[in-house]
Structure 1
Amino acid sequence: MFQKPKGTRDFLPEEMKKRKTIEKKLRKVFDSYNFSEINTPTFESFELLSKKTGDEIRTQLFVFRDHGDREMGLRPELTSSVARFYINEFKNTPKPVKLYYFTNCFRYENPQAGRYREFWQMGSELIGSKKPIADAEVVNMAIEGLKEINMDFEIHIGHLGVLKGVFEKYNLSDDEGNEIRRLIDKEDMDGLKSALSRLESEKNIEISKKVFEVLDLKGGREVISKLKEKLTEFESSVEALENLDSILEFVPHDYVINFGIARGLDYYTGMVFEVYGKKEGAKQVCGGGRYDNLIELFEGEPSPAVGFAYGFDRIMLNIDDFEVENESIFVVPVKSSEMLLKECLKIAKTLRDSGKSVEVDLMGRKLNKALNYANTKNIKKVLIVGENDIRDGKVSLKNMETGEQSLIELKDILNI
């Protein structure tokens, strides 16, 4: 017997209904901010996918050669594809360009709770504005989407410029700074202490205390003024704190300021944020921030950009289970008859044309078995079509929850 590939899933109809319900609510929020939906190819050139991370990402991707011997890869996320798409199609469009997507992505990694080899992302990119209000719009949209689906969460917001200013003051190279950021992102405190200690020895500096002052200070907006007092000699860090303060002026939601958010991808340049669900396992459900150098990295004109992505599968793990009401209608003839089946199809078409979901009995079941089938499908309303009733312009409506059955006029069936 064939099995599904490792790290992938089959979704049953009931689960798909739940996923579609949540997706629809999130789309409603994105649409309310006038973001426009796009989609990109499932696979891209490996050169594009590795542009911002280097060849070492190869082991984390599904990479293949096509029949023209071109090296391709299944997309691990959408930001690279959106950057290419923007350069190809939107560079002359009035700014800002506000785009969103909902699609599947692929990573070759060991499956675990909330991590799959095929997974779904929903995200947004706002390109063309470097104003604090643009950062705030993206943060607000991420928060309001999760509120729309009643998810219990906490958002942490930071700014990479704060630690970057410290690194610059102590003359750390980009590679050294990125190494520190990655250790912070992995929450590897032992590795971080070791790396800082090594740098102190090699460069004859004392950086550890200042880094941990930044990392240890968490809380509300008051954290910004406290940290400014501790970083008065770090001009770039103070500028980053002032930029974050300007952004938060437009964010009327609860949040935690946390400068330990480093984001694993090196292309982030300013404000960053992560959202954590309150349920055990697969806690991080969203991440994003500002990346003003990304379009330029992909050989486009320099363009400021900010965005985020939801891990849709992790969202589904973090929301309370719920039932999706089955609003479909089952239409069945009272007995086997070609004439009655034709009447069933007429009724079904009328209902479908009005936007209702309708199923007609296709198995030629006897009435009792047809009703049992409706019960197993959790269908609440059944229309029973009989010869005499049709002649009188009527049909029977059976409520499968209460068991009540009544005759209704055919002209009133759109009201059921």
Structure 2
Amino acid sequence: MKISKPRGTRDFLPQDTKKRRNVENILRQVVRNWGFNEIITPTFENLELFTLKSGEGIIGELYNFRDKGDREMTLRPELTAPVMRMYVNEMQAYQQPLKLFYFENCFRYERPQKGRFREFWQFGVELIGSNKADADAEVIALATEMLRSTGIKGDLHVNNLGVIRHLLSVLEPEQQSRIMRLVDKKEDMGLDEFLEEINAPADLRMKLLELICLTGEGAIAKARDLIGNIPEIEAFQELLTLLDIYGVEYTIDFGIARGLDYYTGTVFEIYAEGLGAQNQVCGGGSYQLIKLFGGGDVPSTGFGLGFDRIMEVCEIQAPDDIPVVIIAKDSTRPDALKAAIRLRPHMPVYTDLMKRNFKAQLSYANNIGTRHVIIIGEQEVEAGKVTLKNMESGEQELLSIDEVILKLGHKQ
């Protein structure tokens, strides 16, 4: 009986896995160089962790289940909530700010489509303990540097939700939340209908619709003319000044809302070419979640990178680690194993496991595209050396193992 993989999941073949690991390691090195430390959270959590953060409606999107103790559990659909839970459980006494990152698989029960899977990977960063513009600027600059390191040119859009929240402060909290979600989804008709439904003041409606259309150069000045010189605009300007120092290119976009109540100020999204309509590869901002999970009123800022979307457009190739192939006769197989043991700390090495004859071993080496083979026959054993053959030029040299290491080590 043939069993297929579950819908919405993928198998990664060796070459795909090499490329993914290579890009993953590039991203890891960048975040480590910025002083962030890696953490790992459980693959499944208590269901309540995510319903507290996102409401009961999220259950339909989850792989949730009852365990043998009749506890409601779920596979993690994202990683910000688990990190906040970890902070409350175990890290409140740590020196702040905490600079954390993670790279893990997540699960959502949704209709699979191009760029969307039921199992997907997220690379994320959380900076906990600072509500300063400096923290937001560093996180945004880091996100752009991570994308740059993979060869992806991202289009960064940035906003400060304090501005729109200031404008909406005369409305009920539930009404503000609904408006933010409609703005986030770019549902202009729905937004207009809802403002009509709640009988929002005409002046507020006019200013809101104009504000969320402000983008690019001059947007800050136009926002000041529209709303006044409020502190939230000054805070936004401070962030932009820091981004200029970092050399980050950005577009001011007062229509970026993120649509979630826990975002408090800075929000940003990054889009990449080549992904069609689903072109967002990164999103984040400053938020307050720790208090919701039983901790203090601790500010945080962070982002999540959609690793699978990055891999769709990333042109970085898998590392070239084609092994050196050792070819031996039956009588010299023990010597081939000893040579492999010496060589493997320095390079990938393949020894024959099929007891093929000399010609078949050479054919295998050709088929996998190896650049070099090491031949160990009776004459080589007697001389205490090996024959190194360049498969492209046909050139052969009689060398010691140490000489082979000097010639090929870490070059394969």
- The answer to whether the superposition gives a TM-score over 0.5 is yes
The 8 Å contact of residues 40 and 102 in structure 2, kept in 1 or not, is answered as: yes
Report deviation, 1:318: 1.8
Distance 1:207 1:378, change over 3 A: farther
Structure 1 stretch displaced more, 37-46 or 208-217: 208-217
Provide the rounded CA distance (Å) in 2 between the counterparts of 1:158 and 1:399: 58
Give the CA deviation at 1:4: 0.3
Q: Tell whether 2:222 aligns with 1:226.
A: yes
Counterpart for residue 70 of structure 2: 69
**Large movers: runs of 4+ above 6 Å:** none
How well do the aligned residues superpose, as a CA RMSD in angstroms? 1.8
Please say if 1:177 is aligned against 2:176.
Answer: yes
Distance 1:367 1:266, change over 3 A: farther
The one-character-per-residue Cα deviations of 1:267-309 (angstroms, maximum 9, x if unpaired) are 1111011111111333111111001x21011110111110111
Code of the residue aligned with 1:377 in structure 2: it is: I
Q: Please, which of 200, 204, 216 is the counterpart of residue 207 of structure 1?
A: 204
Query: Aligned residue for 1:365?
Result: 356
Partner letter of residue 311 of structure 1?
G
SS at match of 1:225: helix
Per the alignment, residue 13 of structure 2 pairs with 12
Distance change (3 Å), C-alpha of 1:175 and 1:289: same
Aligned partners of 1:146, 1:203: CA distance in 2, in Å?
41
**In structure 1, C-alpha distance between the alignment counterparts of 2:122 and 2:275, rounded to whole Å:** 20
Contact 1:138 1:307 in 2 (8 A): yes
C-alpha distance in structure 2 between counterparts of 1:386 and 1:264, whole Å? 70
Cα drift, residue 203 of structure 1: 4.1
1:397 to 1:140, Cα distance in 2 relative to 1, 3 A: same
Matches within 5 A, 1:147-186: 147-168=148-169, 171-186=170-185
Displacement, 1:327? 4.3
Question: TM-score by structure 1 length?
Answer: 0.93
Aligned to 1:255: 250
Whether 1:271 aligns to 2:262 is no
**Partner letter of residue 310 of structure 1?**
L
- How far residue 401 of structure 1 moved from its aligned partner, in angstroms, is 3.4
**TM-score normalized by the length of structure 2:** 0.93
How many percent of aligned residue pairs carry the same amino acid?
A: 44
Partner of 1:336: 330
Any conservation in 2 of the 1:166–1:211 contact (CA below 8 Å)?
yes
Residues 133 and 250 in structure 1, CA contact (< 8 A), matched pair in contact too? no
Distance 1:246 1:52, change over 3 A: farther
> Which residue of structure 2 lines up, in the alignment, with residue 145 of structure 1?
146
Q: Alignment partner of 1:26: what SS?
A: helix
Which amino acid in 2 is paired with 1:176? Q
Q: Which amino acid aligns with 1:119?
A: F
Q: Could you list the per-position Cα deviations for residues 225-283 of structure 1 after superposition, in whole angstroms to 9, with x for gaps in the alignment? A: 33212211x73653553454455354421111112111143211110111111113331
| Aligned-residue offset at 1:83 | 0.4
Deviations 1:320-376 (A, max 9, x none): 26353134222221x223xx111111111111234x222211111122322332333
Aligned mates of 2:388, 2:101 — CA distance in 1 = 43
Cα distance between partner residues in 2 of 1:378 and 1:223: 56
Structure 1 counterpart of 2:291: 296
Compared with structure 1, are the counterparts of its residues 266 and 373 closer, same or farther at alpha carbon in structure 2 (3 Å cutoff)? farther
Unmatched segments (≥5 aa) in structure 1? none
User: Counterparts of 2:265 and 2:79 in 1: how far apart (Å)?
Assistant: 20
Amino acid of the residue matched to residue 17 of structure 1?
K
Q: For residues 66 and 31 of structure 1, what CA distance do their matches in structure 2 show?
A: 37
